[in-house]
């Protein structure tokens, strides 16, 4: 299908808000385009809503700074050499370094290592075997000209036409045209997880420098940046491991995908708000809610089903996780993720409907506000 160049920017913004993780089983940028932009790029004035987030604003700003704007962002995720996915493949299949660092210049290394240990211990107490999980950092600098990492990764994958050397040169030339070159945050903006295909290899959580940089510099989360990113990625891996039971035989893929995404949000928020986990309360929980909001898909709010949940549904899922972790009769126990899944499924439709009793108040707290009123976010909405 040929896409008119005049529509590329509009299509790009729509695809950005979908936040598909290129290369995973759930779809990639090119797979979305191939399925038909007409279905995704919907202009419905009657259903338009005021919906935007700091995340989408940041991605737009970063894309506009590229030499060729949105076209460069598309090329970065081109199926011939999807660069963010190549960086992941290097860390999963090629890299054997013993010492990991996290964040630009390794500034979050201590925080991620500490959070990893606490997350392992927390979910182990809930009956989850977390012993075969490792965490790695994704860095664009791993592909600089001073190493053979890019060539080794391309050789391992054995994909694409042409020689490894010529393809590596093409990729490096492209990266070196970007602002900050190998340190451009868009190269590692999406943290990822890798579920091992066998029992002897570890499952891997991959934290992108760009993801941490966004939360540090744009959201002013400071030392909380690593906590937010890591908690939600650990939750993502747990859901990948456990899978989701079918609610009904006729459940659509879009609805199932939305349950998957919102369950990740619930688990991440549950850990962060639990007294034995992140111990968040008050203002920290407000920031948590707004962070979840930022990852919502504004297309959902306009009536276009994408399977990601709109910002308010994402925030509602986070609030549900916080309430579950802080209820007086539950807060001293750590619930098994499967039990949380059962509870979540019971209230899934209420969360989608943004039921006030679910999203704004906890009935078990005498209908008092869930946490200190969230009057301002450290990562402000637009």
Residue-by-residue pLDDT tens, the chain, 382 positions: 444 444 444 433 433 433 333 333 333 222 222 222 222 223 333 444 556 666 777 888 898 999 998 888 888 888 677 999 999 999 999 998 888 999 888 888 988 898 899 999 999 999 999 999 999 999 999 999 888 999 999 998 875 556 888 989 999 999 999 999 999 999 999 899 999 988 889 999 999 999 888 877 766 666 666 777 888 899 999 988 877 666 677 778 888 888 888 898 899 989 988 989 888 776 666 666 666 766 666 666 556 566 677 778 888 888 888 888 888 777 788 999 989 998 998 898 888 888 887 776 443 444 343 433 344 444 443 3
Question: What pLDDT does residue 214 have?
Answer: 82
Long-range contacts of 130-134, Cβ-Cβ distance < 8 Å, separation of 24 or more = 132/196, 132/199, 132/202, 132/203, 133/202, 133/203, 133/204, 133/205, 133/237, 134/202, 134/203, 134/204, 134/205
pTM of the model: 0.78
Question: What pLDDT does residue 280 have?
Answer: 76
Question: What pLDDT does residue 121 have?
Answer: 94
DSSP, res 102 = -
The token duo for 34 is 């191939």
What is the Cα–Cα distance from 217 to 212, expressed in whole angstroms? 9
What is the Cα–Cα distance from 283 to 108, expressed in whole angstroms? 22
Strands 203-208 and 192-194: antiparallel
Closest CA to 16 of 3, 35, 29: 29
Closest CA to 32 of 46, 22, 43: 22
The token duo for 15 is 């695809």
Helices (H) and strands (E) in the chain — how many of each? 17, 3
Question: What pLDDT does residue 143 have?
Answer: 94
What is the Cα–Cα distance from 116 to 122, expressed in whole angstroms? 10
Question: What pLDDT does residue 159 have?
Answer: 59
Question: Over the range 309-336, which residues count as b (16 or more CB within 10 Å of their CB) and which as e?
Answer: bbbbbbbbbbbbbbbbbbeeeeeeebbe
Question: What pLDDT does residue 360 have?
Answer: 64
Question: What pLDDT does residue 92 have?
Answer: 94
CB 307 within 8 A of CB 273: no
């Amino acid at each position: 299908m040929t896409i008119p160049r005049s529509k590329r920017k509009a299509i790009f913004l729509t695809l950005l808000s979908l936040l598909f993780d290129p290369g995973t089983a759930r779809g990639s940028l090119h797979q979305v385009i191939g399925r038909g932009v007409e279905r995704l790029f919907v202009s419905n004035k009657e259903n338009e809503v005021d919906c935007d987030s700091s995340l989408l604003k940041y991605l737009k700003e970063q894309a506009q700074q590229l030499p060729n704007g949105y076209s460069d962002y598309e090329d970065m995720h081109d199926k011939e050499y999807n660069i963010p996915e190549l960086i992941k493949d290097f860390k999963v299949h090629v890299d054997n370094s013993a010492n990991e660092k996290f964040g630009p210049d390794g500034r979050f290394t201590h925080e991620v290592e500490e959070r990893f240990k606490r997350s392992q211990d927390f979910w182990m107490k809930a009956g989850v075997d977390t012993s075969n999980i490792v965490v790695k950092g994704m860095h664009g600098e791993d592909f600089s000209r001073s190493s053979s990492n890019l060539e080794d990764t391309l050789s391992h994958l054995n994909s694409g036409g042409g020689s490894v050397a010529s393809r590596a040169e093409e990729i490096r030339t492209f990266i070196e045209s970007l602002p900050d070159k190998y340190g451009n945050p868009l190269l590692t903006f999406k943290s990822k997880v890798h579920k091992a295909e066998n029992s002897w290899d570890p499952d891997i959580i991959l934290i992108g420098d760009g993801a941490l940089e966004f939360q540090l510099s744009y959201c002013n989360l400071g030392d909380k940046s690593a906590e937010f990113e890591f908690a939600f990625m650990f939750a993502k891996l747990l859901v990948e491991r456990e899978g989701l039971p079918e609610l009904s035989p006729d459940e659509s893929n879009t609805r199932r995908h939305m349950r998957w995404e919102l369950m990740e949000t619930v688990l991440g928020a549950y850990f962060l708000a639990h007294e034995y986990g992140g111990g968040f309360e008050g203002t920290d929980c407000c920031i948590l809610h707004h962070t979840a909001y930022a990852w919502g898909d504004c297309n959902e709010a306009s009536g276009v089903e994408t399977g990601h949940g709109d910002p308010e549904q994402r925030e509602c899922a986070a609030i549900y996780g916080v309430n579950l972790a802080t209820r007086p009769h539950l807060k001293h126990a750590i619930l098994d993720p499967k039990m949380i899944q059962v509870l979540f499924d019971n209230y899934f439709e209420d969360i989608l409907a943004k039921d006030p009793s679910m999203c704004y108040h906890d009935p078990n707290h005498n209908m008092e506000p869930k946490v200190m009123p969230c009057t301002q976010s450290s990562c402000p909405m637009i």
